Structure 1
Amino acid sequence: MQKLCLLLLIAFTIQSCTNEKPTEIIVIGTQHKPVPNFDENTLYDILESVQPDLLLNEADTGRFTADWKYKIAPNSNESIASTKYVDNHEGALLRPYEFENRNQYRIDQGMRPTESFTHDLLDSLYEAGMLSEQEEAIVKEYNRALEPLLEIAAGDPKGWNNTTSDSLCAYRQYYQYQMLTKITNSREEFANRFHTKPDGEPISYREGYQRYANFWDLRNQTMAKNIMNMTDKTGAKRIVVLCGFMHRYYILSELKRLKKNKNIVLKEFYDY
């Protein structure tokens, strides 16, 4: 009898786990500032349709008070819509998931402002016809890769929240962080120009831009880990992750990997 009870208990536990409703994560690519086709009201309406119990914003903890309110009045589409949503839905949570102290880290590591200096120098070499045929082709394709994204960004949010737009974003970012470095890592102009970091150490445009490219991976991978940590910590069952839509493809790719062996499904906002 004791053995039978134990077997029944195990069977019940397995059945309960099998029937447990999966956690839903919805990654919504956004535009940070209001534009004619997308503003805080557009985003708020989307949140109302999804009805999440946890909202994750692309911000770090330093922007929040101890009770998870923005220290400074929200001024982006995401922060305004998220604040309004949690104010109107008792029990809904708002949390950050950004790479901590992102901007200061980039400054301290010499990525900023060498990234913009590098692009300016690259543009000047391109305009002066000083690049090789192969290098010129890379710059042309990098510029061309942005065109369909600008067109998509001017339309409906569904247009930049799907697998096609994700692929376009991934392609453009590949050119920015993998292909442009083929030029900056081979031409002496980028090795012979320097910026002085806050610690007084010089850093070449070449090294600064390479660090900038590497940080794209580190930042997105860290954000995805933070999303999973917040998911585990809060126990939320329907989670909306808001991110600039150029990040969406990378975050989704990481979440697909990290959610293996977990009762988690990834959904789109228009599934609701």
Structure 2
Amino acid sequence: MKKSITILFCVLLSIPSFAQKTEIIVIGNIHQPVPNYNSDTILTILKSIKPDFLLQEIDSSFFNDDFTFKNPPKENEGLASVQYIHNNPKTKMRPFDFEGRNEYRKINGFNPTEGLAIKLLDSLYKKNKLTKSEAAIYKKYNDLLEPLKIAASKDAKSFNNSSNDKICEERQYYQYHKLLSIMQERSEFSNTYYTKANGEKISYLKGFQLASEFWDLRNQTMAKNILHIAEENPGKRIVVLTGFMHRYFIVRELQKQTENNTNIIIREFYN
């Protein structure tokens, strides 16, 4: 009897999906090289983690059929990934972004209307044309950027933690909900238009509303894509390379979707 139990236990341990958890490690990054953070910084982190998969914040159009980059990358994440895979060829790359992201923005007209709407709001603020409550909201929106700048000037752990995630979440809430509430009350945004490439006009208000909706849609889609890759590759260590402003949303969605899945672990790169 004891011998049978021992054999069964050994068989179960030999099955990767039973014996080994799937790890998802979401690393928030600064896309462009700065003195304290560049591709070498990411490469050092990757060497310590030893990932099986490196997920990139781009869509499939940037990849060849074998999931190599069509063009040499220019951002920190891509540069570090290419160098890491050169020395660790068994590691695989995959895209996880919303498919056709940039074209979707242009077709729907919220690129560049989102930026134009914020520029108009900033102008109204500086000219003291906002109400007291509107000005307070816009000031808070700007003030929330300061602690993020400080975190981004330090090491990677400083902007990859739950405290910084909360600031990112609040900042994005102010951008896509509180600023939108101002624009919905002011005629300047519903009466100012941008002409799209196809000749159609879109108001600054409508463009900003679409951008707000897309922020949620894009992040939810990215989390879904990450989870799909994780479920297709049980027992693997998956590193997600994203901009650190997206991190809070992606981590939150992944935790929500894996709440009852004991085979997937969401962890930090330094744990």
Distance 1:30 1:76 in 2: 10
Q: Secondary structure at the match of 2:173?
A: helix
AA partner of residue 34 (structure 1) = P
Task: Check whether the contact 1:39–1:77 (CA below 8 A) recurs between aligned residues.
Answer: yes
Task: Check whether the contact 1:194–1:203 (CA below 8 A) recurs between aligned residues.
Answer: yes
Q: CA deviation at 1:237?
A: 1.1
Quote the residue 2:113 is aligned against: 114
Q: List aligned pairs for 1:56-205, cutoff 5 A.
A: 56-205=55-204
Quote the residue 2:267 is aligned against: 267
Task: Check whether the contact 1:26–1:269 (CA below 8 A) recurs between aligned residues.
Answer: yes
Q: List aligned pairs for 1:28-43, cutoff 5 A.
A: 28-43=27-42
Quote the residue 2:247 is aligned against: 248
Q: Secondary structure at the match of 2:144?
A: helix
Quote the residue 2:228 is aligned against: 229
Task: Check whether the contact 1:54–1:236 (CA below 8 A) recurs between aligned residues.
Answer: no
Distance 1:258 1:172 in 2: 24
Of 21-30 and 193-202, the range deviating more from structure 2:
193-202
Task: Check whether the contact 1:25–1:240 (CA below 8 A) recurs between aligned residues.
Answer: yes
Count of aligned pairs = 264
Cα-to-partner distance string for 1:88-130 (whole Å, 9 max, x where unaligned):
1131101110111111111111101111110111011111111
Change (3 A) 1:14 1:95: closer
Structure 1 residue runs of 4 or more that deviate by more than 3 Å after TM superposition: 12-19
Distance 2:18 2:95 in 1: 30
Distance 1:14 1:241 in 2: 28
Cα-to-partner distance string for 1:15-43 (whole Å, 9 max, x where unaligned):
97995221011000000010000000010
User: What TM-score comes out, normalization by structure 1 length?
Assistant: 0.92
AA partner of residue 155 (structure 2) = D
Percent identity among equivalent residues? Answer: 47
CA RMSD of superposed structures (Å)? 2.1
Distance 1:13 1:78 in 2: 37
Cα-to-partner distance string for 1:229-252 (whole Å, 9 max, x where unaligned):
111234451000010000000000
Q: Secondary structure at the match of 2:111?
A: coil
Q: Secondary structure at the match of 1:98?
A: coil
Distance 2:234 2:83 in 1: 22
User: What TM-score comes out, normalization by structure 2 length?
Assistant: 0.92
Change (3 A) 1:16 1:55: closer
Change (3 A) 1:141 1:219: same
